[in-house]
Amino acid sequence: MSTSDIAVSGLRKAYGDKVVLDGIDFDVAAGSVFSMLGPNGAGKTTTVNVLTTLLKADAGTVRVGGHDVATETRQVRSVIGVTGQFAAVDDLLTGRENLRLMADLKRVRSAGRVIARLLERFDLTEPADKLASTYSGGMRRKLDLAMTLVDSPRIIFLDEPTTGLDPRSRRTMWEIVRELVADGTTIFLTTQYLEEADQLAHLIAVLDQGRLVAQGTPEELKRLVPGSHVQLRFASVHELDAAARVLPGATPDDENLTLRVPGDGGVKSLQALLGRLSEYSINAEELSLHTPDLDDVFLALTGHANTEVNAQ
Amino acid sequence: MSTDALIMLRRNFKHIARNPVTVFNGALMPVVIMLLFVYVLGGAFNVGEKYIEYATPGMILLAITYGLSGTAVSVNSDMAKGIINRFKVMNVSRGAVLTGHVAATMLGSSVAIAAIIAIAFALGFRSAATPLDWLGAIGIVAATAFATAWLTVALGMAAKAPESAGLSVVPLLLLPFLSSAIVPAAKMGAGFRQFAEYQPFTPIIESLRSLLAGTPSGGYTAAALAWCAGIAVVGYVWAITTFSRRV
């Protein structure tokens, strides 16, 4: 993970007066998953379009697979695979023919074997000879991704790969992404789902109105937001009150018999907390650790809620 | 043709062959119209010869134009749906996407034309054309198919949506009826006659008619080829510029 497969610096793009990308910088290590997170209209698809040679940037440099997207377009295209937001499959061809079309255009050798393997892997062998127009949304996405994989690209761009999918298809997609990473593929993923970025990404960048407002591992991002706490549950009000007296700063909730103790969840502070409880012979029924999720992060970073996610 | 264009040709021809609407419009409609005119209406037309002899060249032209709406829709769908983006991020020759449509359209036309000619012979059409005349006729037909296919690709590309793309070629479908394809221009009313005499399909049909009759007309053939070249250039340039603007 030492070399960058994607290196972006000072990327700007505007349509007329409307600035879509206002100078963004990031690096994606080879073999890692980088997730760009943001609501609709934040500039995610524009970023993907620039990185995949579909769109020219107004300023900044973008290198993908070690090649400049503006001047070495052919080389960039030969190492990338792109699965866009809307399944780009040919409805009037069968699943197998769609894969064959890609294999032919990419001059893949022993295409028959590659196609059979992909159909198998994506659980599409049975409907392989039916027209793609008869496929469900989840099947179309899988076929779309399979089409991207016929020539085993080194770097894969997934633009909102699970938007509009049911939870089961979403999990299947996640599994596939994990397998790709295990094979050493570099993945650039955009999503509006915080959980998806949390599940898959090594590094997350939060994009808001054309700017990257934060970058880091999921854990680092969560730590940026105050509000980590330990929650203790007790068997009786008596014990809850006793605990509340000995733990400074704790907030009791009489109804649920829980006590909320601020803290970062580090091992030392937990030991101190438990030590204090046993010192006073107070028994807690249950202990749970609460770290803020990415929803909290988004709210804290941008000062406004991730409305797209809240609407889900 | 490049390998990419051949791959696209195969794809686009499958589209044509699998869509009942394009098969009906492209292959069956011309046959239906031919039967309609030869059996139902043609008897009433006094064209100075057996009507099947007169009508066959026009029907060949209809076999070309009726296949066009499918192409316009198909070109537009490619642009409107995500598939074009997939081709764009691959090292696929840009031109191959368009030439694939043109080639598939011409292939579709040849199937329809073969059907029309076979039925024409079955209905009593006889030709005094020499092999060289036939070759000339094939040349005119190919030039017409080529030119109208490029214009159609441009129309399909320029249309806002697949629905309007299908409509955008309607003028091309109507033009043969307002030419000497069905009845001689001289028999039309004032206004229509002049229009028929000066529109591109009349010299194309007259040239084809003269070649199939074994009495080639150099004047009509030159005019027909000039029209085809003009339409092809306009269609090509329009298609390419619209394509590069849209992608």
* Alpha carbon distance B160, B165 (integer Å): 7
SS3 content of chain A, % helix, strand, coil (to 5): 40, 25, 35
Q: What is the mean pLDDT of residues A101-129?
A: 93
With CA atoms as reference, report the closest residue to A38 among A156, A215, A173, A291.
Answer: A215
What residue in B sits closest to A89 (Cα-Cα)?
B83
More confident residue, A166 or A155: A155
Contact list in B for residue A92 (CB cut-off 8 A) is 14-15, 18-19
Q: Look at B7 and A105 and tell me if their CB atoms are within 8 Å.
A: yes
Q: Between A and B, how many residue pairs show a Cβ–Cβ distance under 8 A? A: 52
Contact list in A for residue B16 (CB cut-off 8 A) is none
pLDDT at A226: 65
Lowest mean pLDDT among A147-156, A298-307, B66-75, B146-155: A298-307
Confidence of residue B183 (pLDDT cuts 50, 70, 90): confident
Q: Look at A52 and B83 and tell me if their CB atoms are within 8 Å.
A: no
pLDDT at A265: 67
Mutate to test the interface with A, among B3, B18, B83, B101 (most CBs of A within 10 A): B83
For B130-158, write each residue's pLDDT tens digit. 999 999 999 999 999 999 999 999 999 99
Could you say which residues from 89 to 108 on chain B have a Cβ atom under 8 Å away from some Cβ of chain A? 89-92
Q: What is the mean pLDDT of residues B153-168?
A: 90
Q: What is the mean pLDDT of residues A261-274?
A: 81
Residue B246 has pLDDT above 90, yes or no: no
**Nearest-neighbour CA in chain A from B147: distance (Å):** 26
Distance of CA B163 to the CA centre of its chain: 20
Residue A123 has pLDDT above 60, yes or no: yes
More confident residue, A115 or B35: A115
For A199-241, write each residue's pLDDT tens digit. 899 999 999 889 998 899 988 887 777 667 888 999 888 889 9
Q: Look at B18 and A92 and tell me if their CB atoms are within 8 Å.
A: yes
SS3 content of chain B, % helix, strand, coil (to 5): 80, 0, 20
CATH 3.40.50.300 domain range(s) in chain A: 4-218
Task: Name the H helices within chain A.
Answer: 44-51, 73-79, 95-105, 111-121, 137-149, 167-182, 194-200, 218-223, 237-246, 267-279, 294-302, 307-310
What residue in A sits closest to B84 (Cα-Cα)?
A88
Residue B43 has pLDDT above 80, yes or no: no
Per DSSP, what are the bridge partners of residue A49?
Answer: none
pTM, entire model: 0.80
C-alpha distances in Å from residue B120, one per residue of B31, B52, B57, B204, B214: 9, 7, 10, 19, 17
The answer to whether the Cα torsion of A97, A100, A102, A104 is positive or negative is: negative
The answer to whether the Cα torsion of B231, B173, B13, B164 is positive or negative is: positive
Lowest mean pLDDT among A263-272, B22-31, B56-65: A263-272
pLDDT at A311: 37
How is chain B split into domains, by residue range? 3-183+192-246
Which residue among A52, A88, A106 sits closest to B81, beta carbon to beta carbon? A88
* Alpha carbon distance B109, B96 (integer Å): 19
pLDDT at A1: 41
Averaged pLDDT of chain A: 87
Tokens in use for A91?
């409805």
For B98-136, write each residue's pLDDT tens digit. 999 999 999 999 999 999 999 999 988 888 889 999 999
pLDDT at A248: 80
Domain A4-218 - what CATH class? alpha beta
For A39-57, write each residue's pLDDT tens digit. 888 899 999 999 999 889 9
Q: Look at A90 and B11 and tell me if their CB atoms are within 8 Å.
A: yes
pLDDT at A305: 53
The answer to whether the Cα torsion of A215, A144, A154, A184 is positive or negative is: positive
Contact B175, B147 (CB under 8 A): no
Domain A229-290 fold is Alpha-Beta Plaits (3.30.70)
pLDDT at A8: 95
